[in-house]
Amino acid sequence: MKKTDDKQLEDYLQGKDGVSPAYDQLGQEKPPADLDERILLAARRAIAGQKPAKKAIPYQAYSIAASVCLMVLAATLFLQNEEELTGADIQSRAIPVMDSIEESAFQLEADFIQPAPAAAETQAAAPAPTAAQAQAEALQLESQEASQRVVTEDDLAAQALEAIENANVQGAAATGLQVFSQEQVSALDNAPQTAQTTAAALPPYRASAESWLAEIQRLQAIEPAQAAEEIRVFALEYPEMDIEAALEALNTALENN
Amino acid sequence: MLAYSRGDASAFETLYRKHKDALYRFFLRQCGNQALAEELYQEVWMRVIKARETYTHQAKFTTWLYHIAHNLLIDFFRKPLEQNDEDTDAESIPANASNDPDVILSAQEKIERFRVQLKNLPREQSEVFLLKEEAGLSLEEIAQTTGESFETVKSRLRYAVNKLRLSLESDD
């Protein structure tokens, strides 16, 4: 019985019996039209009295707005930093160009410097002419030959180095007047790390032969070219010293330690 | 419904026109009285309109709509019998057909017999049958609408269908 009932129910659910068609024939009654209107009117009045619903803002709009704000903030910070750096950067990278006024000042300074003895000797043991004197001669010659030439930073540095080499500076603080002009001092500061031995700009490690040799030993491992340059200048400073032997002695001492 | 809750009146009208006829017949078949059916029918929609602010899409709208209708019917049938003045004018059992088993029932008479039998079904059985026929709900959805178990719903439907089928069998 139960199985028959389940079968009959299954037939009904699948539309295989006549119950559903019979029900459909009962009629398709509909609510009256005025009842429809009353209900729809009530529905319209219900929402007319409420506050307009806030249109949901898509989450995408929020994310886009946030991205735009971040971009504006980042750009603003970047531009602010750029202005700060640009101002100082321009100052530091300014290339001193000798104009007519500066050239005149340079000439006056050169004239003020005591001229070096005519016979400037380059013997290693003999007292060499001071750097100031040699530099003064070089600068005077240069100023006469290139009075209207634009002096670049590299030119100034080259002038100073050449004067040092020819003067055979002892390494001690030179007496006398300042050798270089302001432009030459700036050029030396910005020049590559070559021998910049001047009285006013002596690297600390050149204060003594021992520290200088130690620096040369250090540079030999990492900067051979610079080490060679230091050796050359060292030789000018200490012509009586056997540099190779001294460096070998330093290496031996380092190995033993 | 969510669109209507956000202020879209046309969304409500769409819902209304989709469900109005079936819901109306759901009440008409069970109440047997057009005025009463209209009253209950209108009350359902008023409750739908009122519930727009708190409506959340937790179930199918049809299930939710007929759950409201179910609750109204329960409240109606709990009232004393004298208040339920059923008009049997349209639902009276054809005397000739029911008392003369030798009469071959015409198609129209079969339908009338079917109609009466439907009206005479116990309320729970007729409700389940009408939720199936008018609302198009599955047995599981009917169980959810009425708050009954699946087996209870299935049993009630089985009884209802059997009785209705018997009303269609002609007696020779």
Q: Number of residue pairs across A and B with CB atoms under 8 Å? A: 91
pLDDT at position B171 over 60: no
What ipTM, to 2 d.p.?
A: 0.82
Residue of chain A nearest B5, judged by CA positions: A47
CA distance B132 to chain A (A): 9
Q: Could you tell me if A233 and A195 are in contact, meaning their C-beta atoms sit under 8 angstroms apart?
A: yes
Q: For A69-128, what is each residue's pLDDT tens digit?
A: 899 899 899 888 876 665 555 556 555 555 555 555 555 555 555 555 544 444 444 555
Q: Flag whether residue A38 sits within 8 Å of chain B, measured between CB atoms.
A: yes
Q: Where in chain B does DSSP place strands (E)? A: none
Task: Give, rounded to a whole angstrom, the gap between the first and last alpha carbons of chain A.
Answer: 109
Outline where A14-99 has alpha helix (H). 19-24, 33-48, 59-92
Q: For A115-139, what is each residue's pLDDT tens digit?
A: 555 444 444 445 555 666 666 676 6
Taking CB atoms and an 8 Å limit, are A9 and B9 in contact across chains? no
Q: What is the mean pLDDT of chain B?
A: 84
Q: Going by C-beta distance under 8 Å and a sequence separation of 6 or more, which residues neighbour residue A213?
A: A234, A243, A246, A247, A250
For A53-70, give one letter per residue: b (16+ CB within 10 A) or e. Answer: eeeeeeeeeeeeeeeeee
Query: pLDDT-based confidence at A190, cuts 50/70/90?
Result: low
For B157, the closest of A9, A31, A44 (CB atoms) is A9
Q: What is the mean pLDDT of chain A?
A: 71
3-state helix, strand, coil in chain B (%, to 5): 70, 0, 30
pLDDT at position A165 over 50: yes
Q: For B23-49, what is each residue's pLDDT tens digit?
A: 999 999 998 889 999 999 999 999 999
Q: Flag whether residue A19 sits within 8 Å of chain B, measured between CB atoms.
A: yes
Residues of B in contact with A9 (CB under 8 A): 154, 157-158, 161
Q: Flag whether residue A20 sits within 8 Å of chain B, measured between CB atoms.
A: yes
Residue of chain A nearest B115, judged by CA positions: A26
Q: Among B158, B113, B151, B49, which Cα is nearest to A47's?
A: B49
Rounded to 5 degrees, φ, ψ at B135 are: -80, -20
